[in-house]
């Protein structure tokens, strides 16, 4: 797979090394040639000096043969312009842009361009370490809208089907950990004592989902 990365800061250089270690061909674009020092002498990919929304620079980086494009420079406008150019002009199927402004991230997600809203994501992660809310969050989507949390449940849920817990909480069970192994349950899978339940929620749902799960279920 050929991947073009715009931006050779800490994120871009780390991403480039990870992709190269995975056997992919990588081209990195940065308007500051000194930034390529972060790649080190062992980097075997292509480096192109220029701005990532310049068509000639993109072509030089192999955008016409690219399978994926990542815009991770320090500027929101540069990232989104180059991401749209890669997607709409050159037809790259896998495009992602780092965005600092969470409001912009929401807009571009609606346009079909996956974004990583770093400020919002980081702030949310910090908040959950500072102010724990009785649940463990293990994943959050790049727009910080949907998260996956471990939900404690009342012992009387044991023996009840997953579907009943979903109906009571209004949330979807993503997976269970049972005897140390991850399990993808069906709606009829019966909960067991000792199960760890992980559910997909939005922030406004967290409190009500947790309350419903730790409450004694209604009589069947």
The residues spanned by each domain of the chain are 2-120, 132-214
**The model's pTM:** 0.62
Q: How would residue 19 be classed by pLDDT, with cut points 50, 70 and 90?
A: very high
Give, in order, the Cα–Cα distances in Å from 206 to each of 106, 132, 148, 155, 169: 21, 12, 10, 20, 10
Which of 106-110, 134-138, 195-199 shows the highest mean pLDDT? 195-199
Average pLDDT, the chain: 88
Identify the CATH assignment for 2-120 out of 3.30.450.20, 3.30.70.270, 3.40.50.720, 3.90.550.10: 3.40.50.720
Identify the CATH assignment for 132-214 out of 3.40.50.2300, 3.30.590.20, 3.30.70.1450, 3.90.230.10: 3.30.70.1450
**pLDDT recorded at residue 105:** 73
Q: Is the pLDDT of residue 130 over 70?
A: no
Question: Each residue of 51-84: pLDDT tens digit?
Answer: 999 999 999 999 999 999 999 998 888 999 999 9
Which parts of 17-109 are beta strand (E)?
25-30, 46-49, 68-71, 94-99
Show the tokens assigned to 38: 């972060």
Mean pLDDT for 95-108 is 79
């Amino acid at each position: 797979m050929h991947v073009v990365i715009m931006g050779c800061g800490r994120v871009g250089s780390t991403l480039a090394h990870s992709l190269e270690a995975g056997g992919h061909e990588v081209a990195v674009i940065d308007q500051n040639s000194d930034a390529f020092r972060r790649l080190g002498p062992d980097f075997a990919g292509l480096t192109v000096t220029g701005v990532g929304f310049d068509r000639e620079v993109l072509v030089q980086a192999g955008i016409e043969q690219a399978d994926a494009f990542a815009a991770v420079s320090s500027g929101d406008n540069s990232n989104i312009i180059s991401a749209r150019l890669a997607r709409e002009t050159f037809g790259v199927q896998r495009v992602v842009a780092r965005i600092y402004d969470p409001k912009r991230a929401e807009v571009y997600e609606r346009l079909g361009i996956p974004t990583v809203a770093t400020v919002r994501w980081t702030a949310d992660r910090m908040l959950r370490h500072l102010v724990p809310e009785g649940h463990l969050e293990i994943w959050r989507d790049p727009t910080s809208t949907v998260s996956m949390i471990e939900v404690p449940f009342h012992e009387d849920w044991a023996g009840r089907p997953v579907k009943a817990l979903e109906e009571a909480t209004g949330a979807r069970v993503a997976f269970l950990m049972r005897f140390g192994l991850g399990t993808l349950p069906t709606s009829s899978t019966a909960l067991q004592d000792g199960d760890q339940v992980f559910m997909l929620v939005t922030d406004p749902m967290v409190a009500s989902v947790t309350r419903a799960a730790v409450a004694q279920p209604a009589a069947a």
